[in-house]
Amino acid sequence: MAELKAGFDVVRKHHWLWLLPVVLSLGGLFLNMLLLGEWPLSPPGLHFKATIPASIPEIGNIIPGPNLGLASGSFGVFVLALVVTLFKTFLNAGYLAGGVRALKGESVDMPTFWADCQHFFKRSLLIGLLLLFAAPVSFAVLAAIHPIVALVAAFVAIIYLFFWQIAIVYEDLGLREGFTRGHTIMRENLSEIVPLLLIILLMSGVASLILSPLARYYWGHLLAILIWSFVGASLFIALIHRYSELAGQRQ
C-alpha cells in the first residue's frame, strides 16, 4: 500500500524518527535494570502482541514486558512511573508533530521538536488523562451489563477516538474540534481505514512473533529494539499519511 511505502520512505530520510524510539527503549531498558536488578529478557515461548503504533513505538509494545509487581508497593517507584509517563507524553506530542512535519517534507531540528512538545503537551496530557480514567471505568461498567456490549462499545470508541490526537496535532485544533474532526474523518472513511489498520496489526503481530524469540538474548534484545523502532515508526507515519490524505480530500 502507498501509505506503508510512504511511511518507510519518510523514516529512511528522517533518521530521528527511529533514533528517538531507540533512545527511549534503551533508556527504559536501563531503568528496568535498575529497578529489577536484571536485564528484562523476553520469557521463553511464542508471544504474539499486535499493536497499532499511535505514539513513539517502544519495544515493550510488541514483546512481553517485565513484571514490576516486585516493587509496585513502593511510593518511590510510583513517583518515578508518574514522572516517566509525563515525560513520555511530552515527547509523544513532539514526536507526532515532528512526524507530521516530516511527512510534509519539512526538516525537524532540536528547537522545533522541543517547541512542538511544549505546544501540544497540555492537549496530549488531557487526552491521556481522559482515556486513562474514562476508558477502564466505562469498559468495566459495560462488561458488567454484557461482554458483547463492552466489545461493541470498544469498537465504537476506537472509531471516535483513534484520530483525535492526530487531528489536533495535524491541524492544530482544540480538544473539542479535534474530537469532532477526527471521528468525522474516521466514520466517513471507515472502509478505507480499517484495511490499513488490519494490515498494521498484522505487520506488528508478525514482528512480535519474530522479535520475541530474538529478545530472549541480550544481543537479540538490542537488535529487536533497532528493528522495531524503524518498523514501528514507519507504521506510525503511514497512519498519519493516511489521515493527511483523507483530511486533504475533505477540504
Q: Output the smallest distance, CB 187 to another protein, in A.
A: 36
Q: Output the smallest distance, CB 33 to another protein, in A.
A: 6
**Interaction mask 205-234, another protein, x per CB under 8 A:** -------------x---x------------
Helix (H, G, I), strand (E, B) or coil at 63: coil
Contact 70, 38 (CB under 8 A): no
Strand intervals (E) in 105-154: none
Q: Output the smallest distance, CB 115 to another protein, in A.
A: 13
Helix (H, G, I), strand (E, B) or coil at 39: coil
C-alpha cell belonging to residue 100: 507530521
Give the other-Cβ count within 10 Å of 150's Cβ. 17
Interface residue with another protein, options 6, 10, 14, 183 (CB under 8 A): 14
Residues 82-141 that bind another protein (CB under 8 A): 107-110, 113
Q: Which is nearer to another protein, 72 or 249 (CB)?
A: 72
Nearest in space to 44 (alpha carbons), one of 30, 61, 63, 31: 63
DSSP 38: S
* Window of 20-28, 138-146, 158-166, 194-202 that interacts with another protein by CB under 8 A: 20-28
* Window of 43-51, 160-168, 198-206, 234-242 that interacts with another protein by CB under 8 A: 43-51
Nearest in space to 82 (alpha carbons), one of 44, 128, 119: 128
Q: If binding is defined by CB under 8 A, does position 195 make contact with another protein? A: no
Contact 239, 166 (CB under 8 A): yes
Q: Which is nearer to another protein, 20 or 207 (CB)?
A: 20
Q: Which is nearer to another protein, 15 or 146 (CB)?
A: 15
d(CA 103, CA 88): 22
H or E element: which one contains 27? Answer: helix 16-36
| Total of residues contacting another protein (CB under 8 A) | 32
- Amino acid code (one letter) for 96: L
Name the residues that contact another protein, by CB under 8 A: 14-16, 19-20, 22-23, 26-27, 29-30, 33-34, 36-41, 43-45, 66-67, 70, 107-110, 113, 218, 222
